[in-house]
Structure 1
């Protein structure tokens, strides 16, 4: 019943923020709601914190934000005076209270002697990642809940390389955050005083201009854009988020002049009023883009999520309907085009490396190998791709070529170190122009990709379980599948299992174990005899457990049937649990 003590502590706190006080009072008499707001501390994990906005230690509010910022301040201070002087750059998206949370974080950092650079307008996650490197700060913070529903917000922490903190560094930060005993007592500085003494500084144009300049490196064929940039018809929507200015500025810089914004979604909106979900992974998010596309006969539709680190594409199929590509399909097309152009220009390095996650399509590996390049799987989470880029820069062992994950995240040039929707938006437009010049659509290009490399189909099934009971259900599902491995009760054609929690790969026929050589993570992946696979992964940012599926075959019909068979087999087992 510890939640009651924390609730009473908040109730008794005389200095409680007036908005938080009003929200807290609305919970009065509803013990189930109060318990949900207070039964646990909103966990600061390896990716930061994310949760619903509201009162309580299990919600995002000014006090949980101050606690996170105080932990970050103490983490930076532990690295010395130079780190404190280099400071932290903070950006924020269009969500409820995003700018307020950014200022709260800056005032907390400043109070603790750590300089804070704060964007004066909302900007995307990739611009924050770039800003860390451009301003040479010791750390960065992004106030965002990515593509979560409107009631969510969050805080992501970045290291000095512009990458989200990898586990070793994140664990240190988590330790400092958890050491903050009373979130209500965290002190903040006065904004005007901090601005006058240099512990807080607003930034915008300098970073914008530098980021736009770096985008030129993403262009593979400027001559092609000069020729086709006015002919290719593009519809773009930021889904009410942060990408409108940087994406449109990038198109203009490159020479794409026939771009049609979705006006209803071009302005930031905390409530995302025109979409059920501001997530380009959801096909329904393209509804207004498709309407606009039909009006202007667009060749390419582009949608980005609120903090512009994810991007979705849609093009017309042979029936004349706009079809939304999966993240794996977009990734395969971008990778093939990128490597093709680099080969044409003679700048494919001998030690080139393509990075993808363990739940991303094997198509990427096959494409990389076709061009004589290597590929490597990392854990889900773009920070692991960023970590490898840093290692390669230091060792010279490999040259980074492309990084991506199935959940619509891509990185082409490493001037940012998180997934960046603006970069693939530009490259996708160039790619569409290339195929249009050949008399092909991107849909034709996708079919050609399958023809050349084989049919690789993937799918994702998510189960959402909210609250305390939901968390327990997710644990039960993972435990049951792990026990099935131990008891030998998996399907007969499962030939190997990788348990990223134990770090072991088990060959089920021989019983031999080997090391996975990846950081520990609560993920299970099963490999089947025909090359198919499926993977179980609880989300680190949402109350979900995700089941990923991948199959390959020689035809659309065969591969589609196999995918449905595998999905049915696994989800039936999950639903029985």
Structure 2
């Protein structure tokens, strides 16, 4: 159908939801807006779906949610009656319509004979991942748009191991979702009837308690916390999201008592009214935390994103100003501390493995190697880290130690199989106590880390291109780099190219090609003659293309200058396209 036909189909549907109908009526006469709402179907990808809330096939609404849930119901049903009985657990964050979408998904699953467990209060994404394992469900669903702007929401699907579905499973699910021809006619059940039939069940308390018990394994040195936990001053903000209760419970359980919450951001808020972006990657998100930190002279500031799978840290630098660490810096500090404590306690396994993504700093590999541990790169997306954890459990070839990505996502203990902000929040507090006892701040520890392992500096450049035209621009950039970079037409300094779409690494100097043992993905990574690198990756969840840059030098000055040089060159080349 053309977008006009899709619009007419929705506009003429007699039983259209009242709220959706009112929103649709408000678009009448605006051809450009209507085209954007209907020119395509909101794509269900390997990570689920995410988009702006509103009417139409290209928006998040009760009908696109029912379509996703119907596809999940058919996927689970295809695995047999036992899978249907085990069912699906659904959690949701604080976004617009999150609970409504969760109930719509449950009612759709129930109508198809698949049991749905639904959290009766909002909770973080990592707790959904944990709940899949704890309740032994066959799948899970998280209603969230992570750190996207307020007008977004989404649906993420999880497999029975609590990991976001990997490509093989996701492809099956996508097939079932795409097979739903008419999202407007998807059958749903009555909530009260489903509850009485046992096809829907509210959950929370047992999951909360079990998750908190597992969190004890994250603590590396309880004696240290017992000694320093009252003295370490911490400011915490969930940025209006889901982390306030579980993070405070974890601090209390461990023995950190000098905690200061940013009151204006402690309660859930669909509009994220005190921040421009509810994303700890954005330094402006720390504004209120910094104000409170100055008042209480905090040793550590911690911020989590709305669904609490990402975390950011800030500490005072030598000028006395709070400095927000980037994701690679936080990951390097956590990894170094974790391995350092394990070595002290003779708990470093012979086959230990650190897993990071292809766009994450090489610093992590250097740290792992210094402790005699292995490291592995996987594609961007924490599901690929979770997939490796499952593989290692089955084969015994490695012991998982730490997984992380530069975009502020970390996992320490695999009782959850997605990035978990509560775990690194607790470990960061312990790490800060460790260095405070030594008379150091985490900023001092950062400088010491660079001095020890090398000055690995990275940066990220993002271009946002919304709508149909934006998607075409992103494709053009990728196609141009893919066609021309290895010939020298874009960058004569490139010595090797990894194209994860074709699965091949090419040596530009010799022309030799070798296979990359990773799933296909529309990503390009270029390696320069001095060991620097840059990577192009369209976002799977936002209308963005991201350019990652990494360098390594012998000093702060050398790495800073080289990073600026590579960034400037890359930006110029991209803008030519």
How would you bin the TM-score normalised by the shorter chain? Answer: over 0.9
The SS at the match of 2:100 is: helix
- Deviation by residue 1:121-145 (Cα, 9 ceiling, x = unmatched): 0000000000000000000000000
Within 5 Å, give how 1:209-220 maps onto structure 2. Answer: 209-220=209-220
The SS at the match of 1:372 is: coil
Residue 401 of structure 2: aligned partner: 401
Q: How far apart in 2 are the matches of 1:363 and 1:269?
A: 37
Residue 33 of structure 2: aligned partner: 33
In the alignment, structure 1 residue 155 sits paired with structure 2 residue 155: yes
Residue 550 of structure 1: aligned partner: 550
Instruction: Note the C-alpha offset of 1:487.
Output: 3.3
Q: How far apart in 2 are the matches of 1:209 and 1:423?
A: 15
Residue 435 of structure 1: aligned partner: 435
Q: How far apart in 2 are the matches of 1:488 and 1:459?
A: 23
Give the alignment's TM-score, normalised by structure 1.
Answer: 1.00
- Deviation by residue 1:207-228 (Cα, 9 ceiling, x = unmatched): 0000000000000000000000
Residue 343 of structure 2: aligned partner: 343
Residue 323 of structure 2: aligned partner: 323
Q: How far apart in 1 are the matches of 2:157 and 2:482?
A: 32
Q: How far apart in 1 are the matches of 2:414 and 2:531?
A: 32
Structure 2 alignment gaps of length 5 or more: none
In the alignment, structure 1 residue 93 sits paired with structure 2 residue 93: yes
Residue 42 of structure 1: aligned partner: 42
- Deviation by residue 1:80-100 (Cα, 9 ceiling, x = unmatched): 000000000000000000000
Q: How far apart in 2 are the matches of 1:462 and 1:343?
A: 39
- Deviation by residue 1:34-72 (Cα, 9 ceiling, x = unmatched): 000000000000000000000000000000000000000
Instruction: Note the C-alpha offset of 1:298.
Output: 0.1
Residue 259 of structure 2: aligned partner: 259
Residue 19 of structure 1: aligned partner: 19
The SS at the match of 1:534 is: strand
- Deviation by residue 1:251-277 (Cα, 9 ceiling, x = unmatched): 000000000000000000000000000
Residue 533 of structure 2: aligned partner: 533
Q: How far apart in 2 are the matches of 1:478 and 1:131?
A: 38
The SS at the match of 2:172 is: helix
Residue 124 of structure 2: aligned partner: 124
Residue 449 of structure 2: aligned partner: 449
Instruction: Note the C-alpha offset of 1:485.
Output: 2.8
In the alignment, structure 1 residue 102 sits paired with structure 2 residue 106: no
Residue 575 of structure 2: aligned partner: 575
Q: How far apart in 2 are the matches of 1:322 and 1:485?
A: 40
How many residue pairs match? The answer is 577
Q: How far apart in 1 are the matches of 2:549 and 2:222?
A: 38
Preserved CA contact (<8 Å) 2:488 2:494: no
Q: How far apart in 2 are the matches of 1:51 and 1:93?
A: 15
Instruction: Note the C-alpha offset of 1:369.
Output: 0.1
Preserved CA contact (<8 Å) 2:486 2:497: no
Instruction: Note the C-alpha offset of 1:486.
Output: 4.9
Within 5 Å, give how 1:230-379 maps onto structure 2. Answer: 230-379=230-379
Preserved CA contact (<8 Å) 2:163 2:418: yes
Preserved CA contact (<8 Å) 2:355 2:385: yes
Within 5 Å, give how 1:72-83 maps onto structure 2. Answer: 72-83=72-83
Residue 420 of structure 1: aligned partner: 420
- Deviation by residue 1:145-194 (Cα, 9 ceiling, x = unmatched): 00000000000000000000000000000000000000000010000000
Q: How far apart in 1 are the matches of 2:428 and 2:492?
A: 42
The SS at the match of 2:428 is: helix
Give the alignment's TM-score, normalised by structure 2.
Answer: 1.00
For the aligned residue pairs, the C-alpha RMSD in angstroms reads: 0.6
Q: How far apart in 2 are the matches of 1:535 and 1:487?
A: 17
Q: How far apart in 2 are the matches of 1:68 and 1:442?
A: 44
- Deviation by residue 1:342-388 (Cα, 9 ceiling, x = unmatched): 01110100000000000000000000000000100000000000000
Preserved CA contact (<8 Å) 2:276 2:284: yes
Instruction: Note the C-alpha offset of 1:483.
Output: 1.3
Q: How far apart in 1 are the matches of 2:120 and 2:428?
A: 30
4+ residue segments displaced more than 6 Å: none
In the alignment, structure 1 residue 165 sits paired with structure 2 residue 149: no
The SS at the match of 1:42 is: coil
Preserved CA contact (<8 Å) 2:243 2:307: yes
Residue 470 of structure 1: aligned partner: 470
Q: How far apart in 1 are the matches of 2:482 and 2:99?
A: 43
The SS at the match of 2:550 is: strand
Residue 459 of structure 2: aligned partner: 459
Instruction: Note the C-alpha offset of 1:490.
Output: 3.8
Instruction: Note the C-alpha offset of 1:510.
Output: 1.1
Q: How far apart in 2 are the matches of 1:553 and 1:484?
A: 28
Q: How far apart in 1 are the matches of 2:488 and 2:517?
A: 24
Instruction: Note the C-alpha offset of 1:307.
Output: 0.1
Q: How far apart in 2 are the matches of 1:346 and 1:329?
A: 26
- Deviation by residue 1:487-540 (Cα, 9 ceiling, x = unmatched): 332423211000000000001111100001100000000001111000000000
Residue 68 of structure 2: aligned partner: 68
Preserved CA contact (<8 Å) 2:89 2:116: yes
The SS at the match of 1:257 is: coil
The SS at the match of 1:337 is: helix
Q: How far apart in 1 are the matches of 2:413 and 2:482?
A: 39
Within 5 Å, give how 1:194-233 maps onto structure 2. Answer: 194-233=194-233
- Deviation by residue 1:302-321 (Cα, 9 ceiling, x = unmatched): 00000000000000000000
Structure 1 alignment gaps of length 5 or more: none
The SS at the match of 1:180 is: coil
Q: How far apart in 2 are the matches of 1:355 and 1:231?
A: 33
